[in-house]
Chains A and B, each alone.
Chain A
Amino acid sequence: MNIPGDLARTSPDEDRHAGRPPGTVALARLRRRRFHALRLTWCVTKVNFRASLEYRGDFLLAIVSGIIWQASVLVLATVLVNRFPNLAGWTKGEILLVAALRLLSHGLYVAGFASLAALPRIVQEGKVETFMLRPLSVYRQVLFDKLFLNAIGDLAVAVTLFTIAVPEMDVDWTAQHVGYLILAVAGGVFLEASLHTVIACFALRSISTIPWSQWIDELLATFGSYPLKIFPLNVQVLFTFVIPIAFIGYVPAAQIAGKTADLPFPPWLALAAPFVGILAFTAARLLFAAGLRKYTGVGGV
């Protein structure tokens, strides 16, 4: 992250000498770097895709595993919604919207960030030391480690669930609603990534964090797909302020369905739900950077 340093060091002089408005060079450099990062991401994704094609059977199983896992969540949601209709004042469509939001965020998280859960293995194999020697952030190299194709299955189920949930709801889908939905999904992706980034910080110190990653996945799948109003207040507080999974599906769905009165905080905060994910992710990245500075190596083959 040396872009701010570049701006301060070179841009004003270069711009002044060339007679350009201040910041022009820095802006061009920033754009070049962003383009370079995108190109690099594309190249690595292509390589990872080809690598995953090496084992054709496993390639297909990866997609099927995404579908089956999320389908099992969908089956449970459908069974519970039918068994307990009008749960705490939430209709079937509204409950399915909570699950769909959670699922869509999860699918996108898996596509971009799922390698975080593999950090214990990366540490165990002594690859972090190699990452540190390369001119690319360690965090990004961890994300580039492997392509998780089960994201395709996750996203397929999420889209299916949306198509079931939306017609069931009595909501006028205005541009504001759609815009908020997109932001909420993005916020959900970052929130899930932040939870796994925090676990990844511990993986830098001890490699026994795999069960925690699995536990968070289960927690999100099971409890993130239903209105938290059914839980006692202490659990609502836990899932809102400690492990804030409420902001992935429940809070945005409450905002869209007009049920913000059910939330354990002022309704205006529901509007800011997407930004909770971004804030949490920024904090988690800072924690990861701090953990990396103290990294001493716990593995090696």
Chain B
Amino acid sequence: MPTAKLDDRRVRLSPARGRPARRWATIAGVSWRAELGQRSRPVNTAIRLTMQLFVVACFWRGFYQASGGAQSAAATQTVSYAVLAVLVTQTGGIDRMFSRDSIVQHLQRGTILYWLVRPIPPRRYYLMRAIGDRAYGLAWGTLGYVVCLQIGVVAVPAGPAAAVVGFGSFVLGCVTLVYLNQVLDLVCFWTMLNTNALNIYQFVMNLMSGAIAPLWFFPDWFRAISAVLPFQNILNTPLSVYVGRIPVRAAVPLIGIQLLWILLLVLLTRLMWRRAASSTAIEGG
């Protein structure tokens, strides 16, 4: 059958041959190879991360010291929260522009066509690359967490239940982030550019997720807005559970909300991929 022959040939030409699991692992490993391929990049990440952790810890300790509450429980919670937030945000996003594999770059060069015609579905390819990115960031984050825990910059979890629920919520937060990023990338299929949309998204996300400052510092109206958006699921919920600001029992409905948002985002991205594939405009080539 001609279709089968075509499929066979596509599989032979595919760079990631072998069993599906191995193929997906190869795709997920692209980010690792791109990052570790240049020795300067991990060194840069290590220097930047160390400096950021140091100044952020000093920043929040400084605020509490200046107001005379350096030894309070609130100070410990805030410093732990801020340091963990740095570990998540600074190690989260691999610079995909560097390896020229972002959707906007492919659209502008016309190479997005290959994503759409090769035997690997583009949605799955994107997902595997995103998982690879997050796994790379997680490796850095784990290393940073262990070091910060050892030197006492981060406090231990509020309890065993808080550790388990906080970790579960953190994983769901990572999934939420992957799908939110995917929505922003897919918008390029219609707008051809997403630099400024990405900037806005990044600022709003940083503010609403609690990356800039813990959400408990903000006024009620701000937290009310944040509660109906998916951003607080990324950082504020898991980290607040970890440091004990949100009791474990109160976290259960929040995890339900996280799952609901993931479901909505999965459905939205499926729809967007389907629409994008049928109306792709190539700008370059």
* A and B are interacting partners: yes
- A interface list, Cβ under 8 A from B: 55, 57-58, 61-62, 64-65, 68-69, 72, 75-76, 79-80, 83-84, 87-88, 120-121, 124, 150, 206-208, 210-212, 215, 218-219, 222-223, 226, 229-232, 235, 238
The smallest C-beta distance from B282 to any residue of chain A, in angstroms, reads 16
Interface range, B side: 35 or more
Is B212 a contact partner of A72 (Cβ separation < 8 A)? yes
Task: Indicate whether A223 sits within 8 Å of B217 (C-beta atoms), given known contacts A62-B196, A150-B196.
Answer: no
Encode contact with A along B182-226: 1 for CB under 8 Å, 0 otherwise: 000000000111011101100110110000110001110010000
Task: Indicate whether A121 sits within 8 Å of B67 (C-beta atoms), given known contacts A61-B200, A231-B59.
Answer: no
The smallest C-beta distance from A123 to any residue of chain B, in angstroms, reads 12
**How many A-B pairs with Cβ below 8 Å?**
100
Cα-based distance from A231 to B52 in the complex (angstroms): 14
Residue of A nearest to B62 (CB): A230
Is A235 a contact partner of B58 (Cβ separation < 8 A)? yes
Q: Does B278 have its Cβ within 8 Å of any Cβ on chain A?
A: no
- Give the dominant DSSP class at A's interface: helix
Chain A residues, Cβ within 8 Å of B147:
none
Partner pick for B48 among A57, A215, A223, A231, CB 8 A cutoff: A215
Chain B residues, Cβ within 8 Å of A55:
191-193
Q: Does B72 have its Cβ within 8 Å of any Cβ on chain A?
A: no
Cα-based distance from A215 to B90 in the complex (angstroms): 9
Is A68 a contact partner of B200 (Cβ separation < 8 A)? yes
Q: Does B65 have its Cβ within 8 Å of any Cβ on chain A?
A: yes
The smallest C-beta distance from A148 to any residue of chain B, in angstroms, reads 10
Is B95 a contact partner of A208 (Cβ separation < 8 A)? yes
Cα-based distance from A62 to B204 in the complex (angstroms): 14
Is A210 a contact partner of B98 (Cβ separation < 8 A)? yes
Cα-based distance from A65 to B195 in the complex (angstroms): 10
Chain A residues, Cβ within 8 Å of B55:
219, 223, 235, 238
Chain A residues, Cβ within 8 Å of B213:
76, 79-80
Task: Indicate whether A211 sits within 8 Å of B44 (C-beta atoms), given known contacts A55-B191, A57-B191, A223-B59.
Answer: yes
Chain A residues, Cβ within 8 Å of B218:
75, 79
Q: Does B125 have its Cβ within 8 Å of any Cβ on chain A?
A: no
Q: Does B250 have its Cβ within 8 Å of any Cβ on chain A?
A: no
Encode contact with A along B25-54: 1 for CB under 8 Å, 0 otherwise: 000000000000010110011001000101
Is B66 a contact partner of A87 (Cβ separation < 8 A)? yes
Is B204 a contact partner of A68 (Cβ separation < 8 A)? yes
Cα-based distance from A108 to B247 in the complex (angstroms): 46
Is B199 a contact partner of A65 (Cβ separation < 8 A)? yes
Chain A residues, Cβ within 8 Å of B52:
215, 218-219
Is B192 a contact partner of A64 (Cβ separation < 8 A)? no
Cα-based distance from A231 to B192 in the complex (angstroms): 44
Closest 5 CB pairs between A and B? A230-B62, A61-B196, A65-B199, A88-B66, A72-B207
Chain B residues, Cβ within 8 Å of A211:
44-45, 48, 95
Is A68 a contact partner of B217 (Cβ separation < 8 A)? no
Residue of A nearest to B63 (CB): A84
Is A208 a contact partner of B41 (Cβ separation < 8 A)? yes
Residue of B nearest to A234 (CB): B58
Chain B residues, Cβ within 8 Å of A232:
58, 62
Chain A residues, Cβ within 8 Å of B97:
121, 210
30 contacts between A and B (CB under 8 A): A55-B191, A55-B193, A58-B195, A58-B196, A58-B197, A61-B196, A61-B197, A61-B200, A69-B199, A75-B222, A79-B213, A79-B217, A80-B213, A87-B63, A87-B67, A88-B66, A150-B196, A207-B98, A210-B97, A211-B48, A212-B44, A219-B52, A219-B55, A222-B59, A223-B55, A230-B59, A230-B63, A230-B66, A235-B55, A235-B58
